[in-house]
Chains A and B, each alone.
Chain A
């Protein structure tokens, strides 16, 4: 009976030890993952802002003006409706 109890205690001890090691290793792994995802989220947010800003830039009047001048659209875009009312009236 005594030896059975002894084995049982050893068995419990082994399980607790294994469990502890398992939890410890898992917590380290989880910490690593948390750390990794924290950095990833931050990077994604920054990248998202950068891309958003690029879209804003391409969509801006300043960019349109620079493109228009590059493509020589400036003169053609001048409205003529008020000097030649037939254009306005025919709309």
Chain B
């Protein structure tokens, strides 16, 4: 009789112990139980890819891993540090400082590849773990560094795009993370009767640019050669379709290495094509001439008697070579790039009209291009303009513009007067959904008739200008040179210039418009001797690439 009782009592005590333990786990301390079995993991979304106009990849993703440690689980810290440092080579002291026993989780290094992960796993160390991540991979290296921007981290350590397309379209590219809630046993296997919830991540949207990878590569190579040849400090080339204002290539040098962006300072990340202001110099003359033609203030075959320098508000304005032609036509003023002639044209147009056309061309306001970091430009309020300002603006001094503003306004001169919004992303794709982005006309600047007149003048400027360039034979190419002195401490330094050339081809139906800018070229300060030859080299390549037949 005693034996069954004893057995009964033992069983009762056993059951009571189980009940007490269950009470402790489920009632007194439910949170710890929950966290022990329920694993909640964030599933990172894949960042959207970036392709060129022909679906060639410019920025894609590759798998990478974040190495983290759980200091409380580490048994022998010194051995742990030695082994990890043998692979990562971060420095033993720096690794040891991360082993803070009061913390549960410490991130050590992100961007690890599969090989390193495998080698670390072979050590079978306790307290070591990996999180799956993605890292940007650029098949074309830094071909379009300024255009693309880069992916860095925000304060929470999350991926975020900075500058260029990565910055402008960060929300579209990022996507939404997914979440997995799963009850797991000690071996990490799902407990089927427990919680099993999964919310799939929504990957970022893919972007298709208007940029043509081949054109971009050609243009970048030419710019690199040009900068070395003319010993310029920096340079930019922008190529666009003037009928739509989709950017075909946009490159500025020096730029930065996309894979190792953290080695560069912020000044390298700014895209000078949209962020830097410069005085356009003579490339600005066609705008004032077109405005005067459009306003019927002058006609292409009108003549001006260019006798010598002119005095405006106490300042003397001369031609670039201090030579004066006497009777000179309006076309001649553009051909010879006469500052004095342009002052006359500006006066005929009238101060109010000059200001109103500058506004129409969009100077002093951002173009709205879909790239992060665009500057507004600089256009003083009308009341702050003195007569000398109206005189100097007629030949492109005393006004600061961004290269992209220049391209937008110049395109309107040659496409019949349509001021368009420049853009670099032509399609956004998300799964089966696609959103196309088309060119957008903002307003008319000049009439189609004026556009034809100014095109002829610009063609004449190339054919009969002061300098004979090595032009591709059989093609009609038009354009204008520019040399602007750089203002330093309130005066212009004649030794430091911004040399530029803006041109297009073919004249009858322009297929491309290109702006070449070289800052402080050392071999010659003149745009005609530096930027212009570089433009014609680029034009030669583009004519072949676009299969444009000689006329």
Residues of B with C-beta under 8 A to A57: 139
Tell whether A56 is near chain B: CB-to-CB under 8 Å. Answer: yes
Q: Closest CB-CB distance, B285 to chain A, in whole Å?
A: 28
Residue in A27, A35, A46, A60 whose CB lies within 8 Å of B193? A27
Residue in A35, A46, A56, A83 whose CB lies within 8 Å of B190? A35
User: Contact mask A29-41 → B, CB, 8 Å, 1/0?
Assistant: 0111011000000
Residues of A with C-beta under 8 A to B540: 79, 82
Tell whether B188 is near chain A: CB-to-CB under 8 Å. Answer: yes
User: Measured between alpha carbons, how far is A81 from B542 in the docked complex, in Å?
Assistant: 12
Docked-complex contact A56 and B544, CB < 8 angstroms: no
Interface residues on A, range: 20 to 34
Residues of A with C-beta under 8 A to B322: none
User: Measured between alpha carbons, how far is A83 from B474 in the docked complex, in Å?
Assistant: 10
Docked-complex contact B550 and A88, CB < 8 angstroms: yes
Docked-complex contact B543 and A49, CB < 8 angstroms: no
Residues of A with C-beta under 8 A to B56: 59-60
Docked-complex contact B213 and A61, CB < 8 angstroms: yes
Tell whether B62 is near chain A: CB-to-CB under 8 Å. Answer: yes
Q: Closest CB-CB distance, A25 to chain B, in whole Å?
A: 12
Docked-complex contact A85 and B474, CB < 8 angstroms: yes
Residues of B with C-beta under 8 A to A6: none
Docked-complex contact B193 and A81, CB < 8 angstroms: no
Tell whether B60 is near chain A: CB-to-CB under 8 Å. Answer: yes
Tell whether A42 is near chain B: CB-to-CB under 8 Å. Answer: yes
Docked-complex contact A49 and B550, CB < 8 angstroms: no
Residues of A with C-beta under 8 A to B61: 49
Tell whether A70 is near chain B: CB-to-CB under 8 Å. Answer: no
**Nearest B residue to A56, CB-CB:** B139
Docked-complex contact A61 and B214, CB < 8 angstroms: yes
Residue in A31, A50, A88 whose CB lies within 8 Å of B63? A50
Docked-complex contact B185 and A62, CB < 8 angstroms: no
Residues of A with C-beta under 8 A to B57: 56
Tell whether B192 is near chain A: CB-to-CB under 8 Å. Answer: yes
Residue in B137, B141, B472, B473 whose CB lies within 8 Å of A53? B137
Residues of A with C-beta under 8 A to B62: 49-50, 53
User: Measured between alpha carbons, how far is A73 from B456 in the docked complex, in Å?
Assistant: 40
Q: Closest CB-CB distance, A51 to chain B, in whole Å?
A: 11
Residue in A49, A59, A89 whose CB lies within 8 Å of B139? A59
Of the candidates B63, B137, B193, the one having the most CB atoms from chain A within 10 angstroms of its own CB is: B63
Docked-complex contact A79 and B141, CB < 8 angstroms: no
**Nearest A residue to B536, CB-CB:** A82
Tell whether B189 is near chain A: CB-to-CB under 8 Å. Answer: yes
Q: Closest CB-CB distance, B140 to chain A, in whole Å?
A: 5
Docked-complex contact B189 and A28, CB < 8 angstroms: yes
Tell whether B466 is near chain A: CB-to-CB under 8 Å. Answer: no
User: Measured between alpha carbons, how far is A67 from B192 in the docked complex, in Å?
Assistant: 54
Tell whether B155 is near chain A: CB-to-CB under 8 Å. Answer: no
Residue in B137, B141, B189, B550 whose CB lies within 8 Å of A85? B550
Q: Closest CB-CB distance, B471 to chain A, in whole Å?
A: 9
Q: Closest CB-CB distance, B370 to chain A, in whole Å?
A: 24
Residues of A with C-beta under 8 A to B185: 31
Q: Closest CB-CB distance, B350 to chain A, in whole Å?
A: 44
Residues of B with C-beta under 8 A to A72: none
Tell whether B85 is near chain A: CB-to-CB under 8 Å. Answer: no
Residues of B with C-beta under 8 A to A35: 188-190
Docked-complex contact A85 and B473, CB < 8 angstroms: yes
Q: Closest CB-CB distance, A91 to chain B, in whole Å?
A: 8
Residues of A with C-beta under 8 A to B191: 31
**Nearest A residue to B196, CB-CB:** A34
Docked-complex contact A82 and B132, CB < 8 angstroms: no
Tell whether B202 is near chain A: CB-to-CB under 8 Å. Answer: no
Q: Closest CB-CB distance, B174 to chain A, in whole Å?
A: 18
User: Contact mask B66-106 → A, CB, 8 Å, 1/0?
Assistant: 00000000000000000000000000000000000000000
User: Measured between alpha carbons, how far is A27 from B185 in the docked complex, in Å?
Assistant: 12
Given contacts A42-B132, A46-B63, A56-B57, is CB(A82)–CB(B214) below 8 Å?
no
**Nearest B residue to A65, CB-CB:** B217
Residues of A with C-beta under 8 A to B474: 85, 88
User: Contact mask B138-179 → A, CB, 8 Å, 1/0?
Assistant: 011101000000000000000000000000000000000000
Tell whether B549 is near chain A: CB-to-CB under 8 Å. Answer: yes
Given contacts A85-B473, A85-B474, is CB(A53)–CB(B139) below 8 Å?
yes
User: Measured between alpha carbons, how far is A88 from B545 in the docked complex, in Å?
Assistant: 12
Docked-complex contact B189 and A31, CB < 8 angstroms: yes
Q: Closest CB-CB distance, B125 to chain A, in whole Å?
A: 20
Q: Closest CB-CB distance, A28 to chain B, in whole Å?
A: 7
Q: Closest CB-CB distance, A85 to chain B, in whole Å?
A: 5
Docked-complex contact A62 and B140, CB < 8 angstroms: yes
Residues of A with C-beta under 8 A to B63: 45-46, 49-50
Could you name 8 residue pairs across A and B whose Cβ atoms are closer than 8 Å? A31-B185, A35-B188, A46-B132, A56-B60, A60-B139, A82-B473, A85-B550, A88-B550
Q: A31-B192, A82-B540 are in contact. List 8 more A-B contacts (CB 8 A).
A: A28-B189, A32-B189, A35-B189, A46-B114, A56-B60, A79-B540, A85-B474, A88-B550
The 3 closest A-B pairs by CB, nearest first: A31-B189, A56-B139, A46-B63
